[in-house]
Structure 1
Amino acid sequence: MYLSSLRELALGSRLKALSDHFYQAVDEVYRACGAGIESRWFPVLRFLRDVGPSTVTDVALAIGQTHSAVSQLADRLVDAGMVVRQRDPQDGRRSVLALTDAGERALGALGPVWLSIRRGMAESLGPRGAEMLDAIDACERALAERPVVPAILAKHAELVRENVRVVPYDPSLREHFLRLNRQWLERYFRIEDVDRAVLTDPEGMIVGAGGQVFFALYAGEVVGTCALIHEGEGVYELTKMAVDENYRGLGAGRKLLDAAIGEYRRLGGGTLFLESNSRLTRAVGMYGRAGFVMQEGARPGSHYERADVYMVYQGG
C-alpha cells in the first residue's frame, strides 16, 4: 500500500484507516447480532457502566478523546435513550452522565457478542493481533511520558542548524545514485538505455573512467547527487543531477554543481557541457547562474532522446 511506504509521515492516516475498518466491522457485527448500540458508543457506555456517573471531562480523560468529542457523543446517546444527563449529587453546579435502564439492558446482553469479537479478532489477526495491542499499549505509555509534538519540534530545531555537505562517490551510497535519478526521470520522462547503463554501473561508467559522482548529505540523509563523466580529451559532461523533492530549498543542487565544477577544474578539463530539457526550468536557470551558456539547438550526437537543451560552461 502507498501509505505504508511513507512510514511515520503517514502514521495518523494509517491508524485512521485501521480505526475506520474496525469501527465498520464491529458495527456490522452489532447489526447482525441485533445489538442496539454502535461501535463508537462503546467506550463511553462501558466506562459509565464500570465507573458510574461521570462528568464529560472525566470520561474524556479516561478514554483519550477530546471534551468536545465526548460531549457530542453524549448528545447522541441521550437522544438514543442510552444515557441521561443529571445533576452531580456532590456538586449541583455541574452535570454528570449516567446510564439509563435501557443502556444497562443493552450492555447486559452483549457479553456473547463481545466474546465473539475478542475471539474473532484474535483468529483473524493471528499472533500479530496480540503484538499490535502490546505495541499500542507501549505507544500510549511513551506518548504519556513524552508528548510527540515537543519531541518533533526539538528535532526540527536541531535539523534547521544542519548544513548540506557534498561528498565524493562511496560504494555504500551507490543505491542512492539510482534512487534519486529514477525519481525525476520517471516523473518527467522515462529511463533511457543510456541512463540505465550509467545508473547501474557508476563505478565502471563514471568513476573508473576518470569522472566522479557526488552526493549531497543532510543530517545523515542522502538528498542529492550528480555526476561528472569524462568523455575523453579533456571533455566532461555534467549529468545525473538530482535532488530529492522533499529537500528542495536547502541549496543542495547548487552545492553539487559547484563540487562538480571544482572537480572539473582540478582535473584540468578543457570543456564542460550538459544536456537537459526545457521543461526543467528551475534546473536550467541554476545552470545559467553557475556559468553555463545556452547553445543553439540540441548537441550534435546527443546522448538522450529527451534533450532539447545544450549548455557549455564558460564560467571563470
Structure 2
Amino acid sequence: MRLFLLPVSTRRSLIYCEKLHDKAASERSLLDKITIKANETWVAWEKDEKALLQWKRKVTLYGNQALKRIPYEEWGLKTIPALTAKRKRAILEGREKYHVIFPGLFLHQERVPEILRKLATERQSMHRSKMIWSIVGMPFTIPFMLIPIIPNLPFFYLVYRAYSHWKALTGSKHLEFLLQHNLPTPTPSAELDEVYTAGLMYPTRKISRAAPRPTRTQAEEVARVVEQQTNGGSEDVMVLQRWNGKLIAEQFKLPDMEVEIERAVEQVETSIKAKEELVEEKQELERATAEPGKTAKDSLPKHIVTPNEKTDREIHEKAEEVAKKNIQS
C-alpha cells in the first residue's frame, strides 16, 4: 500500500492513501452499500431540476460549501482504510508492505516520522468526541421529520459527520499502528520533486504541460529558494499550487487525489492569508498608537497598570479595603 505525504506549505502536509481496488458487489459490506448509495443519491440531486423550487440542487449547493469547511487533515485520514484483523495480522507477519511517498527536496526525510505521528495522534480525541456528540444529537432532529416532502436533513447531516469522524479515527489508528511497527518505509520521489518544481516555476497548468520537465539542478535550486523564503523556518511558505493537484494525480494515476490536494491548498492558503492580515493589522495599530521608537504598550499613561504588572500584595490590599467598606455599610 502506498501513502503519499504531500507538503502543502513548509509547515503543513496532506496525507493521502492510495485507494484499494473496488470490491466486487458480492464482497461489499452493508456499510459499503450504504455509502455507495448515498454518493449516487447526492450526485443525482446535484443534477435534478424537477424538484419543487429546485430544493435538491440547493441542498447539494449548500452541502458542498459545508463540506469544503471540513479540515483537509480529516479528509486525508479518511482515505486510510480501517485496520481489520486480517490486515493487522498481515502487518505483524511482515506480509503487508507500506511505503510513504514524498518529495525529498521539499520535505526532509528526517521530518517524515514526526509529521506522520502528529497526523496520526493529534486529532484522535477530537474525532472521537465529535463522533459521539453527532450520535447524541441525532434524536433531537426527530421534529424535522414532520416537514413534508423534504427529508430530515439535520439527521442525515449528523449521520454523515459521525461517519466521517469515525472514518478519520479508524484511519488515524491504522497509521498509528504502522508507526508503532516502524512502518511505512520513507521513499523520496524524484517524480514528485519534478512536479512540485514545475508548480513553482510556471504560472499555469497549461504552460507547465508545454514546458520541458525541470532538471534535477533546477529542482534543487527552487527548493533552496523556498528554504530561504522561510527565514530559518519562521515563515510558512506555500509549496503547492491549486492547479498542480491535477498534474500530481495524473503522474501517479490517482484521479481522486486531485480533489484532496485542491481542497488542502485552498484551506492552507486561506489560513496563511488570514494570519498575514492579522499581523498587518497589529502592526498598523502599533504604528497608530505608538510614538517613534516606542510600542503601543510603552505609550500608555503612567497611571494605567495592566493586570500582569500588579503584584499579589496590591490585589490583596485592595480586596481588604473593599471588604472593610462592605462591613461598615
TM interval, shorter chain, is under 0.3
Give the TM-score taking structure 1 as reference length: 0.23
Larger Rg: 1
Give the TM-score taking structure 2 as reference length: 0.22
Q: Which has the higher strand share?
A: 1
Q: Which has the higher helix share?
A: 2
